[in-house]
Amino acid sequence: MSSQSTHLLLFAFPWRGHLLSAFNLAQTLTAAGASVTLVCSENQIRALLEDCCPQQLSRIVLLGLPDPDPEKPNFPSDSVTNVVRDLENAIRLRSSFDGLIAKLIQEKLRDSAMQEFPMCIVSDYFLYWTREVAAKYDIPWYAFHAASASHLALQFYTRTMLASILPPLSSLQSDEQIVRFPDLDEPIRVPGLFALSVTDLTETFRNNISRTIHEFGVLSAESLHEAAGVLVNTCEDLEPRPLEALRNDQNLNPARVNVFAIGPCFPSASLCNDDVSSVTLKDQSASNSEVKVCMKWLDNQQPSSVLYISLGSLFIPTLHQIRELAVGLEASEQRFFWVVRPPICEQGTQSGSEALSEILPPGFLSRTKEKGVVLPGWAPQLQILSHPAVGGFLSHCGWNSTLESIFMGVPIIAFPQFGDQILNSRIIAEELKVGVVLQSDKGEVQSHDIESAVRNLMHDNEMRRRTGEWRDRMRRAVAEHGVSQASTKSFIQDIFLQRQVSKASRNT
């Protein structure tokens, strides 16, 4: 058995954050000696190719499946509409994925010298239907959970929740597009987690949620119980209690599905080098003059003096929310690097910068030009977080952003919106104590709350020290002989075991 001969197929959900995370996993696996074919929709693969550099592609083949909805507008509408459309489109990738596996198997049969390929399928568990395709071809199926172990425990617990409080899918009328069930008042006790309230849960459990989102949540959670194993983007030190519950609590994980904590997965060289920008990341500043100006500004700032603000790749803030943020930020008198992803940037005919002056409060850009920079669209986030001038991150708390911030020792102001983000914000503030949560009223925050959170966090040296401790623990986990590397190796060994099991069951 040798990891050199392990070639696996990794299927990423076609969202930018999920693909980046799967790409980082691919690099983690190749660093352990495996080869990876990374599959996603064509348009996402194209975007990834623009962002990555050749040395990141060693032993990784990128493969694009035809986009099921090429006509889709390339500007966002509201977040929920986008999510529903993307989930439906992802399901439509099934036939081309099935065709791809059939073709790969045919090629292998024709070329007897070829290694067994794919040895297994590792799929973002959002693409839950890939398990059935894998079973059809008798290939071991592993799930990749790009979020926290805490969220993974919640997903495993979905079965129990369904049995006790939620309606089974079959009880819904076929024409009913909204799922209704009684509000949950009691705290929800998931093994390994702090007590949750209904507002901490993902949309699957929300009243009046779209049927597509509810069904999707239930089916993807259920698929985890059927996996040969689950790879989770966390490390043992960071979330010991949910990992322990996932492995040992019979009620949570009755099938004893193996859970491999292989994270945090980052671009490979960043794990052993503090100067991430010079080693692994494509120099985006060379190709984008707006980024170049902002990075140059950052170079001239004092250590830990700048607040970085970004709300991820999916969430679209309202205009009102963007303006409250601007007012709060200006009142805090803090230096800032703000990445704004306004719908207008992508819809309108104006360039990103022109659009900014329309959506931000009048005069904001000129009044704050010494204090900060505002970048429309997309930024080299890991490069920014690793910059010594950055001392805080106002984040939507996507799990990747959370890991990146802690890994760079940057404390967080949590502004969660949906999905696992609310749970993540509680991990940040209550478990790890590396940040504070912005108080919001129905998801929107007021400028004065932003102002005081920014003032407090940027001067909280104790919080910064604690974040540094977590940074060191995470770095030890992914270093040579660290626990996450050991977990990656045991995953690779497990693939061989699973293949033997499936061969044995074929022969009986």
Q: Does 312 bind ligand UDP (CB under 6 A)?
A: yes
Contact (Cβ atoms closer than 8 angstroms) between residue 339 and residue 312? no
Q: Does 342 bind ligand UDP (CB under 6 A)?
A: no
Residue 44 Cβ, how far from ligand UDP at the closest point, in Å?
12
Contact window for ligand UDP (CB under 6 A) among 127-135, 225-233, 273-281, 378-386: 378-386
**Cα separations in angstroms, 26 against 17, 30, 142, 402, 475:** 14, 6, 14, 20, 19
Q: Does 364 bind ligand UDP (CB under 6 A)?
A: no
Among 304, 378, 460, 471, binds ligand UDP (CB under 6 A): 378
Contact window for ligand UDP (CB under 6 A) among 114-122, 310-318, 344-352, 452-460: 310-318
Please tell me whether residue 65 adopts helix, strand or coil conformation.
strand
Q: Does 386 bind ligand UDP (CB under 6 A)?
A: no
Task: Tell me the residue type at 18.
Answer: H
Of residues 86 and 226, the one with the C-beta less far from ligand UDP: 86
Site track 396-435 with ligand UDP (rule: CB under 6 A), x = hit: --xxxx--x-------------------------------
What is the Cα–Cα distance from 393 to 334, expressed in whole angstroms? 12
Among 204, 321, 381, 447, binds ligand UDP (CB under 6 A): 381
Residue 444 Cβ, how far from ligand UDP at the closest point, in Å?
18
Of residues 15 and 141, the one with the C-beta less far from ligand UDP: 15
Q: Does 45 bind ligand UDP (CB under 6 A)?
A: no
Of residues 35 and 220, the one with the C-beta less far from ligand UDP: 220
What is the Cα–Cα distance from 340 to 357, expressed in whole angstroms? 12
What is the Cα–Cα distance from 11 to 501, expressed in whole angstroms? 23
Residues present in the chain in total? 508
Total site size for ligand UDP, rule CB under 6 A: 17
Q: Does 204 bind ligand UDP (CB under 6 A)?
A: no
Among 12, 45, 356, 379, binds ligand UDP (CB under 6 A): 379
Q: Does 352 bind ligand UDP (CB under 6 A)?
A: no
Contact (Cβ atoms closer than 8 angstroms) between residue 334 and residue 455? yes
SS3 string of 367-429? Answer: HCCCCEEEEECCCCHHHHHCCCCEEEEEECCCHHHHHHHHHCCCCEEECCCCCCHHHHHHHHH
Among 301, 310, 332, 405, binds ligand UDP (CB under 6 A): 310
Residue 340 Cβ, how far from ligand UDP at the closest point, in Å?
10
CA torsion sign for 10, 16, 18, 20 is positive
DSSP string, 418-485: STTHHHHHHIIIIIS--EEEPP-BTTB--HHHHHHHHHHHHT-HHHHHHHHHHHHHHHHHHSTT-HHH
Contact window for ligand UDP (CB under 6 A) among 131-139, 316-324, 361-369, 373-381: 373-381
Contact window for ligand UDP (CB under 6 A) among 349-357, 395-403, 469-477, 482-490: 395-403
Of residues 44 and 400, the one with the C-beta less far from ligand UDP: 400
- Find tokens 């749970």 and name the residue: 423
Name the helix (H) or strand (E) containing 489: helix 483-507
Q: Does 267 bind ligand UDP (CB under 6 A)?
A: no
Q: Does 222 bind ligand UDP (CB under 6 A)?
A: no
| Percentage helix, strand, coil for the chain under 3-state DSSP, each rounded to 5 | 50, 15, 35
Q: Name the token pair of 118.
A: 């794919």
Interacting residue ranges for ligand UDP, rule: CB under 6 A = 16-17, 20, 310, 312-314, 339, 378-379, 381-382, 398-401, 404
